[in-house]
Structure 1
Amino acid sequence: MSLMALKVSNLVGGYSQVPVLKNISFDIKDGELVGLIGLNGAGKSTTINHIIGLLNPFSGSISINGVSSKDDINQYKQQIAYIPEAPILYEELTLKEHIEMTMMAYGLNPEKTWDRANELLKRFRLDNKLAWFPSNFSKGMKQKVMIVCAFITNAKLFIIDEPFLGLDPLAVNDLLDLIDRQKQNGSSILMSTHVLDTAEKFCDRFVLIHNGQIRTEGDFKSLKAQYGNDDSSLNDIYLSLAKEDSKS
């Protein structure tokens, strides 16, 4: 039986008294890449903000490997690596200091982790930029710094929000390769994206959220059987469901 890395159960939540998320439930198994898809305003970011512990549920629960955010928030957050849509870097810290800070936050062994960090820095062509400050970096380079910092951790759950924006094709390829390697190591990944042709090829399953509710979920084959035909792409299915929902 596959273990559930992430379990979201009957989650009701949002930013004010009016819930954005209305009783949503889904899970991610160990070593699984799940695509979270939906129109802008559907509730994807709100879902992510609840999972990473920025928002507290009104009701329902979220657990990672059986640890709930209500039980032990530190142990809960220690299991997550998060790559946000807009890179968040500290202007006064160099690239090297960002990596050191990540190691401290996750309690990582510096010697072992620097081997991993150096491999990633080389891969993303940042190895000669350790003394640079964020103001020296382009948007794509900042995104690569976030990727490096996330993938030096031993996180059980990776949450990646719109990862392909601002990345060049080579970096996209490198990121997908890293995700695949991390999956093989047993980590689970929740990826929110609008780049559906890439998601179709790489995600094991999809959770489609609409108006704060789970509209449908399943692998590409089952979604095609339910909502499309043999020639349908994920994009076709997504558009037909979005049009259907906009009429209702």
Structure 2
Amino acid sequence: MSLEVTKLNGGYGQVPVLHDVSFNVPDGQVIGLIGLNGAGKSTTIKHIIGLLQPQSGSVTVNGYTLATDASAYRGSIAYVPETPVLYPELTLREHLELAMMAYGLDQDESWRRLDRLLKMFRLDNKLDWFPDNFSKGMKQKVMIASAFMTDASLFIIDEPFTGLDPVAVHDLITLVNEQKARGASVLMSTHVLATAQEYADGFVLLRDGRVRAEGTLDALRSEFDLAGASLDDIYMAMTREV
């Protein structure tokens, strides 16, 4: 089990945003993290990547926690944020080299992987450009390339399709499927429900900081008593609950 979240309570102050949140992301599976704005998706992700400390409960990646082995824990995760994080004084090449150093990657092997990724996202002729001046979509592609050049066992992708053109969306899905076939796991937070339904193996539905339901699409249909429903139908049913 790559990611295990167990009875997680936490947030930004004394009053928790998350309430006993528990779910797993098994090896070789894509799990969609679904919910309204304010449901707790970003807060959950921030706890997983270590930006927030749980008030109680635990987060384990490959058997590690931040307390037991912070280096192994962080090295197991590749993260694509919703809002790209770029440094105005660094070129694209320097951003990628910084990511290599952070993960302790072999530079020659990393550049071999990046050769394909940079061509895929039409960034191969922009290595000496400053990504801080790129469009939103191009910045997102830099984040994707930085994450997918690693050997991470858990990929966390937050609203990955925002700002991407249809070709880039297709390329990202290709990369996700390749990592899934390799045995890596993917936690993907998205509002693009049709794409999530097509490519995710299971779902975690958050509502008001709690797990409302989780499992395969068929399991969600059973939980909401909506035979044959789409993920969008189930999502709307959840939002109408009192």
Identify whether the pair has TM-score above 0.5, normalized to the shorter chain: yes
Equivalent residue letter for 1:168: D
TM-score normalized with structure 1 length: 0.96
**Correspondent of 1:28 among 13, 25, 28:** 25
- Structure 2 residue ranges without an equivalent (≥5): none
The percentage of counterpart residues that share the same residue type is: 58
Q: Distance in 2 between matches of 1:232 and 1:24?
A: 25
Give runs of aligned pairs for residues 1-248 of structure 1, distance below 5 A. Answer: 4-244=1-241, 247=242
* SS of alignment partner, residue 2 of structure 2: strand
Stretch deviating more after TM superposition (218-227 or 85-94) = 218-227
Cα deviations by residue, 1:75-128 (Å, 9 ceiling, x for unpaired): 211111000001111111100111111111111111111010011000001000
Q: Distance in 2 between matches of 1:22 and 1:195?
A: 25
Post-superposition offset of 1:238: 0.6
* SS of alignment partner, residue 67 of structure 1: coil
Equivalent residue letter for 1:216: A
Contact 1:116 1:152 in 2 (8 A): yes
Equivalent residue letter for 2:173: L
Post-superposition offset of 1:230: 4.2
Equivalent residue letter for 1:182: Q
Cα deviations by residue, 1:172-227 (Å, 9 ceiling, x for unpaired): 00000000000111111000000000000000000001111100001012212332
Contact 2:132 2:139 in 1 (8 A): no
Would you say how many aligned residue pairs link Structure 1 and Structure 2?
A: 242
Q: Distance in 2 between matches of 1:83 and 1:105?
A: 15
Q: Distance in 2 between matches of 1:159 and 1:36?
A: 10
Equivalent residue letter for 1:12: N
Contact 1:228 1:237 in 2 (8 A): no
- Structure 1 residue ranges without an equivalent (≥5): none
Cα deviations by residue, 1:105-164 (Å, 9 ceiling, x for unpaired): 111111111010011000001000000002331100000000000000111110000000
**Once superposed, what is the RMSD of the aligned Cα atoms?**
0.9
Contact 2:213 2:223 in 1 (8 A): no
Contact 1:95 1:134 in 2 (8 A): yes
TM-score normalized with structure 2 length: 0.98
Q: Distance in 2 between matches of 1:29 and 1:174?
A: 23
